Amino acid sequence: MKILLCFGTRPEAIKMAPLFHELKKQVAFEIKVCVTAQHREMLDQVLDFFEIVPDYDLDLMQTNQTLNKLSASILYKIDEVLREVKPTLVLVHGDTTTSSMVALAAFHLGIQVGHIEAGLRSFNKQAPFPEEINRQFTSKLADIHFTPTKIATQNLLNEGVQSQSIVQTGNTVIDALFWASGKIAEKEYIHPEIELLKSTIPFGKKIVLVTGHRRENFGLGFINLCEALLTIAKRDDVNIVYPVHLNPNVQDVVKEKLANQKNIYLIPPASYPAFVWLMYQSFLIVTDSGGIQEEAPSLGKPVLVTRTVSERPEGVEAGFSQIVGTEQENIEKSIVELLDTFSGFNNSENPYGDGNASQKIVDFLVSKM
């Protein structure tokens, strides 16, 4: 069986990496990798860490390109790759413009599509934007749906997807997290970025780790977050560490509001191993990221989600995360409450997986040969 893995962003690469390595163990599979480089620098860091060399690199990253231009470029360029490779199956991940456009191109050519991390829904097409529509669209095109949770599986069943095409596996991000944690823990492993963090940030206080990149939070959402962080930074027991996303809509606001402020450390976007290390050092995490909501339960870290809705309700229901929105007062109040009262979770079972999702996906594909 010839399988083509296609992805374009850092989160996709992280979640596809363990699956790539698991697939490569199967001599019956011929594996090819195509990256669109929807993200460039951050994608390359992950490829290097997980030792993946793409067979095809479309190199489509452009500063502030529109979604329509990116979509058209992916659809046009991936057509050439699909016609050359002639895969039996194309595997795409999640909810990016890359995943939806690659799935559409494969459908046009009569190639089967497998959708990793299928079935997530917020049921609000504007939040997250454009991810919610991307994943719904990809579900309409996919032939095999690899879902991470029972809720994701039920979402697809409710939409009329046949049960025999759904395989519940857990989320491959947990596989990646365990792989990365093991590598970082090795005595001989030295990462320059981690060493620099150790030498420049005092980790003796409670660390509030912050990330943000969602389009729907551009503008007022990020302004409110920054104002909340300025208030929290007045505490003597807290240091805020904020790897600032490269998007100018994030950079401009965050640096204007938070640069050179006491107890706030603005750093460049952290590489994946460095960010995993930072999560281990943190007391709590404030984020609008989906992947972090999935990873944090395995590390015992509480998450405050700066969004109004999440397609990952399992963590909220289990008490691992809270949806706090983007209002300054609510963000402040929620951070303070955790700083003052959090002492650990009663439940240590991560609802998003046990680290064996990639193996389950491969086992299914082997059984269908």
**Residue 62 confidence (pLDDT):** 84
277: closest CA among 320, 239, 241?
Answer: 241
**Residue 368 confidence (pLDDT):** 87
**Residue 246 confidence (pLDDT):** 83
CATH class held by domain 192-341: alpha beta
Choose, from 10, 12, 115, 117, the residue flagged as catalytic. 117
Give yes or no: 329 in active site. Answer: no
Tokens 């790539």 sit at which residue? Answer: 20
Whether 117 contacts 107, CB under 8 Å: no
Give yes or no: 79 in active site. Answer: no
Cα-atom radius of gyration of the chain, to the nearest Å? 20
What is the token pair recorded at 79?
């057509």
Q: Looking only at Cα atoms, what is the longest distance across the chain?
A: 60
**Residue 296 confidence (pLDDT):** 97
**Residue 337 confidence (pLDDT):** 98
Reading the chain (369 residues) residue by residue, the pLDDT tens digits are 999 999 999 999 999 999 999 999 999 999 999 999 987 878 999 999 999 999 999 999 888 889 999 999 999 999 999 999 999 999 999 999 999 999 999 999 999 999 999 999 999 999 899 999 999 999 999 999 999 999 999 999 999 999 999 999 999 999 999 999 999 999 899 999 999 999 999 999 999 999 998 888 889 999 999 999 999 999 999 999 999 998 888 999 999 999 999 999 999 999 999 999 999 999 999 999 999 999 999 999 999 999 999 999 999 999 999 999 999 999 999 999 999 999 999 888 999 999 999 999 999 999 987
Q: Where do the domains of the chain lie?
A: 2-171+353-367, 192-341
Give yes or no: 10 in active site. Answer: no
Choose, from 10, 145, 245, 307, the residue flagged as catalytic. 245
DSSP string, 181-200: HHHHHSTT---HHHHHHHHH
Choose, from 22, 40, 93, 95, the residue flagged as catalytic. 95
**Residue 64 confidence (pLDDT):** 80
**Residue 38 confidence (pLDDT):** 80
- Name the DSSP letter for residue 235: S
38: closest CA among 101, 109, 111, 121?
Answer: 101
Choose, from 39, 93, 121, 131, the residue flagged as catalytic. 131
Give yes or no: 214 in active site. Answer: no
- Name the DSSP letter for residue 349: -
Domain 2-171+353-367 matching CATH 3.40.50.2000: the answer reads yes
Choose, from 39, 213, 307, 312, the residue flagged as catalytic. 213
What is the pTM assigned to this prediction?
0.92
Choose, from 79, 215, 327, 354, the residue flagged as catalytic. 215
Q: Is residue 195 classed exposed, middle or buried when 0-12, 13-18 and 19+ CB atoms within 10 A define those classes?
A: exposed
Give yes or no: 131 in active site. Answer: yes
Give yes or no: 213 in active site. Answer: yes
